[in-house]
Chain A
Amino acid sequence: MENITLIINGETRSITAVSNVLELIQHLGIVESQIAVELNTKIIPRGDWEKTPVSNLDRVEIVQFVGGG
């Protein structure tokens, strides 16, 4: 399968082509349930992950909760 290049959390990564956001999250091995995903500066609600395609050179931000005041 072809690779695609994505900018994930500011880092350029070449990964096996994934067809949608849900596949991307699974591919990256992210297990945390409380995360949010932004694709090209637009937040993708969890329910839309599977139907939202990911294409070459997309910018992806994946965030979670960490300790803070």
Chain B
Amino acid sequence: MAHSTEDDKLVLGGRTFKSRLLVGTGKYSSFPLMKEAISKSETEIVTVAVRRVNLDRSSESLLDYVDPERFAILPNTAGCYTEEDAVRTAHLAREAGLSDWVKLEVIGDEKTLFPDTEALLAATKRLVKDGFLVLPYTNDDPVMARKLEDAGAAAVMPLGAPIGSGMGLQNPANIRIILESVSVPVIVDAGVGTASDASIAMELGCDAVLMNTGIAGAQDPVAMAEAMKLAVRAGRMAYKAGRIPRKLYATASSPVEGISR
């Protein structure tokens, strides 16, 4: 029974992706470094933010370094604290961009950047109605995940830990319950600090992992991008392969008979 990784693809919004790693474009010290890291990660979906154009100095355009022909560009609504702001930002992104995909964030608290799930749900409903493909960044609450699915979200993206914290999956049990609660893809978004965090998310059965700081903030972002690529792949393969049950006591790996004494 050979599990080929070739036919194990992520389907999101009717599109098919070989990579189960989504990466952000923020916090890099330069666009060329970002481009190299993105390339090394072999991601096919990258997130971007929507901000005011700087009128006083011409700056390089992010999209000169992330080819929209090659990558699915996923605009976010980062920094939005109300349903209204998030809906407006999504519409601006759709107007500026090429697609109606949105990584929907409605932040409820500045210190933790935890989502305001009440406003998130309301914004999801509106944007789905407006024809968006909505990928909401949510907390690790299975009930909210189901509500978002019912509202028409194309995936649910529970946080592993606070954005940029690098704490890894703080509540793997809830992520497992979310996986059992919804039928849309589950993408762990935020909290990944190192490769094993990404593997753990994938081993649980998550469909993909989204990260930004975990790569961009590493001492060597390009090397970390490759590590994350491998970790996501390894975690997925282990999940598909089916791990052994956990047992409290040992089971010998070598034959117990025929020991020469």
Contacts and interface: CB of A to CB of B under 8 A. Distances in A.
B76 A68 contact: yes
B75 A65 contact: yes
Interface stretch (B92-100, B229-237, B249-257): B92-100
Interface string A3-19: 00000111101000000
Which secondary structure dominates where chain B touches chain A?
mixed
Given A31-B58, A67-B28, A9 B52 contact: yes
Contacts of A38: 92
Contacts of A62: 52-53, 55
> How extensive is the interface on chain B, given as a class?
35 or more
Contacts of A69: 24-27, 47, 49, 76, 78, 163-164, 190, 210-213
A67 B48 contact: yes
A66 B95 contact: no
Main secondary structure of the interface of A (DSSP, over half): strand
Contacts of B169: none
Nearest to A9: B52
A63 B53 CA distance: 5
Identify the 8 closest CB pairs spanning chains A and B, nearest first: A68-B49, A69-B212, A69-B24, A36-B96, A36-B95, A67-B25, A67-B26, A65-B48
A68 B190 CA distance: 12
A66 B62 contact: yes
Given A30-B55, A64-B50, A68-B24, 17 more contacts: A9-B55, A30-B53, A32-B63, A35-B53, A35-B96, A45-B95, A46-B95, A61-B52, A62-B55, A64-B51, A65-B48, A67-B28, A67-B34, A67-B49, A68-B76, A68-B78, A69-B27
Interface in B57-96: 58, 61-63, 68, 73, 75-76, 78, 91-93, 95-96
